[in-house]
Amino acid sequence: MTMGTRDDSDEAYVVGLCDQVLGETACTQHKFEWLLGDPGVGGRRVRLPVDAYWPGHRLVVEYRELQHDQPVPHFDKPDRLTVSGVHRGEQRALYDARRDAEVPAHGLRLVVIRPADLDTDGRGRLRRSREADLAALRRLLARDSDEDRVIDVFRTWLLAEGWTPVEPTDRWTDLEAVRGDERLICKAKGRTAEKGTDADIAYGQLLRRMTREAPGIRYALAVPSSSAKAAERVPAHVRRLLRIDVYEVTDDGTVRQLPNGPNGTA
């Protein structure tokens, strides 16, 4: 957590680049009701802020400058005790550890970014090399599996199309989003050696999500380019009847809806 909230701070610079990567504007200095500091006078506990929170991505980013990892007397105030019974530097470490534990425990993804992860000078200060830093942040914000990549790219595309990701009504749904009276329920698959089998499984999983008859509900299957042909093996007229749209997520991070209309339209 950096000190101050100036628009020209390194924290604001990093969060702004993350906004660009994610296609969503962060809630900065966001406070969750379940992330609390130690009791103060009268037992009152204040809410601890996180540097940035992207609700659509269910993602929290902490930008931790040098004072989070090494003693800095100016920030630590070693001669002054906090409500935690330790000086500010030790309290900062306690609260960082609390964020590290509580954020994932509440179903959110946490990414910690440090100056060394980006382009810095010999003193550990950001050079603000925008393109190099963007490339580094894309790697840092990416997840491990290709299925996660497909979900994240598709989520970013939905946000750009005016959709709002929401908590899925079924815990086995990969992604759910609303736009006005519309609701989209999505299943995603990543790269796989069993393209046809996994596509068939995904269709079956979508069928099991079809528990409501509301006219505004549609279903989506998001797949990487390598699985697009396998997903199209279900005929277009069947997909229309089932209200299933298939989306191809390319390796370069673009999304294309595969045609399912009577004349080859989307």
The neighbour count for residue 28, using CB atoms within 10 Å, is: 17
CATH number for the domain running over 146-257 = 3.40.1350.10
Residue whose tokens read 């935690």: 84
Spatial neighbors of 188 by CB under 8 A, at least 6 apart, are 147, 150, 151, 154, 174, 175, 202, 221, 222, 223
**Domain with residues 10-141, CATH architecture:** 3-Layer(aba) Sandwich (3.40)
Q: What's residue 260's pLDDT?
A: 76
pTM score of the predicted model? 0.72
The CA–CA distances, whole Å, from 170 to 180, 205, 208 equal 20, 11, 10
Mean pLDDT by 10 residues, the chain (266 residues): 63 96 94 91 87 94 76 55 64 90 94 94 90 94 89 94 92 93 95 92 94 91 95 94 96 90 60
Q: For residue 6, how many C-alpha atoms fall within 13 Å in the half-sphere facing its CB?
A: 5
Q: What does the alpha-carbon distance between residue 116 and residue 132 come to, in Å, rounded to a whole number?
A: 13
Q: What's residue 1's pLDDT?
A: 46
Cα–Cα–Cα angle for 138, 140, 146, rounded to 5 degrees = 75
Three-state secondary-structure class, residue 31? strand
- At 147, give phi and psi (nearest 5°): -65, -40
What are the domain boundaries of the chain? 10-141, 146-257
Q: What's residue 263's pLDDT?
A: 56
Q: What's residue 76's pLDDT?
A: 46
